[in-house]
Amino acid sequence: MDRVALQAELVAALGADAVLTDPVSLRAYECDGLTGYRVVPACVVLPRDTAQVAAAVRVCARNGVPFVARGAGTGLSGGALPVADGVVISLQRLRAVVSVDPVNRRAVVEPGVTNLDISRAVAAHGLYFAPDPSSQQVCTIGGNVAENSGGAHCLKYGFTVHHIHEIEVVLPDGTVTTLGGPAPHQGGYDLLGAFIGSEGTLGIVTRITVKLLPRPAAVQTLVADFPSVEQAGDTVTAIVAAGIVPAAVEMMDALAIEAVEAAVSAGYSRDTAAALIVELDGPPAEVTAQFAEVERLCHEHGTTKVHVAPTPEARAAVWKGRKAAFAAVGRISPNYFVQDGVVPRTRLAEALTRIGELADEAGLRVANVFHAGDGNLHPLVLYSEARGEHERAEHLSSSIAELCVDLGGSLSGEHGIGTDKACSMPRQYDDADLATMTLLRRAFDPDDVCNPGKLLPTPRLCGERPGPHRPHPLEAAGLIERI
């Protein structure tokens, strides 16, 4: 469709202050947290409410123009990458906490509210929203629903999908519906569950009823240093085998610790090979009993130092360090890729050894930060654009994702498939699996206008035999730029 006509139609529907058309503004939306892919959209709209979102989607649907929802743009798989000649629908002006129901422990919020602001808004009632992605201070709840985001505390509490009661959705044809319900046990297929994690491909979430949890009565956190990543990994297995479900079990290797200390001086030991963070929460007596056992298990597996966070402030410092880890790597390397893969917990040590070997072969460094409790790895591949290491780094990063699948795991634990891994999906799923997933997509979006090209591989983007290392055909076609 003619760009100018499209812009005019959107201005007519939403008002001029909700539509960005100048080329400079559009450039600022050309990528999300994954800057390797860039596409300039035809137009960006910033609706203020559900009706405006629906109006924008209807304009798109009527004209067959693809659209992409965008939250805070922190996604790390290119999920919010614009589609060429398409519209970006930013949810940054839907930021209201609509209501809080402390008795039933839930809140109704708009999609642009940040994950952390939900917890802030309900803190006075002793409640919080449990999923805690490291980006929680900035990522939106709409993005969390789209990505089924998780965080350090998901080991005990589950992911976003376990914490949503109901969503209001603008479907790809511009109609508005709700999935789930205020009450549990809604009849029929669990469309709410299927929608969560669909990466913006099934519709745009405009209102969310989140489940809130009471703040745990007690929390205890320790950081244990280990002389090797393997020993730290074995400790995790031992903790779980002892029947303990910690709130969180996180691990960082030496390189990651170096970056974190450079960024926020959180008090991690700089001279250790691996640091394990274990947090227990729950009823005080339960926590005390299990915490002693965790400490014992750390010592049994050769910890060199156990540091127990003595105060809430000290605990906050531990987490601040851990949560700043990705961005902090910017302090020790000019460029880096964040990888996100999952292996069965028991194969963690094997995975790390293999990653080390792959890194050596490539002559690059890899910092490891991960959710050890559920086997979710975040290898950070460090490289220098200036030294021309981009391609090698990208190759290494993809090899690591494939390694995870080969070890019986998954391409992604929380960052999603998006643009980045769409062409790798065939590594994990066969044609029939992907065709069946497409059935679901078409039930919601028969005309393929809602975030097309993401999540599932398409022949146009991935060629006949999809694989992760070939140049993206969008690049070849000059539609996207990769640095």
Ligand X SMILES: Cc1cc2nc3c(=O)[nH]c(=O)nc-3n(C[C@H](O)[C@H](O)[C@H](O)COP(=O)(O)OP(=O)(O)OC[C@H]3O[C@@H](n4cnc5c(N)ncnc54)[C@H](O)[C@@H]3O)c2cc1C
Query: 334 is in the binding site of which of ligand X, another protein, none (Cβ under 5 to 8 A by kind)?
Result: another protein
Query: 133 is in the binding site of which of another protein, ligand X, none (Cβ under 5 to 8 A by kind)?
Result: ligand X
Spatial contact of 446 and 401, defined as CB atoms under 8 Å apart: no
| Residue 25: how many other CB atoms lie within 10 Å | 11
**Nearer Cβ to ligand X, position 32 or 258?**
32
Is 289 near another protein (CB under 8 A)? Answer: yes
Is 31 near ligand X (CB under 6 A)? Answer: no
Positions in 156-185 near ligand X (CB under 6 A): none
Positions in 93-132 near ligand X (CB under 6 A): 111
Residue 181 to residue 200: CA distance in whole angstroms:
20
Positions in 141-200 near another protein (CB under 8 A): 147-148, 150, 154, 158-159, 161-162, 170-171, 174-179, 181-194, 196-198
Positions in 430-469 near another protein (CB under 8 A): 430, 432-437, 439-444, 455-456
Positions in 312-331 near ligand X (CB under 6 A): 326-327
Residue 87 to residue 69: CA distance in whole angstroms:
9
Residue 167 to residue 292: CA distance in whole angstroms:
41
Query: 304 is in the binding site of which of ligand X, another protein, none (Cβ under 5 to 8 A by kind)?
Result: none
Strands (E) in 304-350, as ranges, are 305-308, 335-338, 341-342
Residue 243 to residue 240: CA distance in whole angstroms:
5
| Residue 338: how many other CB atoms lie within 10 Å | 20
User: In a 10 Å sphere around its CB, with 0-12 CB exposed, 13-18 middle and 19+ buried, how is residue 183 labelled?
Assistant: exposed
Name the DSSP class of 369. Answer: E
2-10, 282-290, 298-306, 387-395 -> range binding another protein (CB under 8 A): 282-290
User: Minimum distance between the CB of residue 400 and ligand X, rounded to whole angstroms?
Assistant: 17
Number of residues that bind ligand X (CB under 6 A): 37
**Nearer Cβ to ligand X, position 53 or 298?**
53
What is the longest distance spanned by two Cα atoms in the chain?
69
Positions in 405-444 near ligand X (CB under 6 A): 414-415
Interface with another protein (CB under 8 A), residue from 10, 13, 14, 29: 29
Indicate the Cα dihedral angle 242, 151, 148, 209, nearest 10°: 100
Query: 441 is in the binding site of which of ligand X, another protein, none (Cβ under 5 to 8 A by kind)?
Result: another protein
Is 205 near ligand X (CB under 6 A)? Answer: yes
Residue 239 to residue 249: CA distance in whole angstroms:
10
Q: Which helix (H) or strand (E) holds 237?
A: helix 229-241
Q: Would you tell me which residues interact with ligand X (CB under 6 A)? A: 32-33, 68-76, 79-80, 91, 111, 133-135, 139-140, 142-144, 146-147, 149-151, 199-200, 204-205, 326-327, 414-415, 451
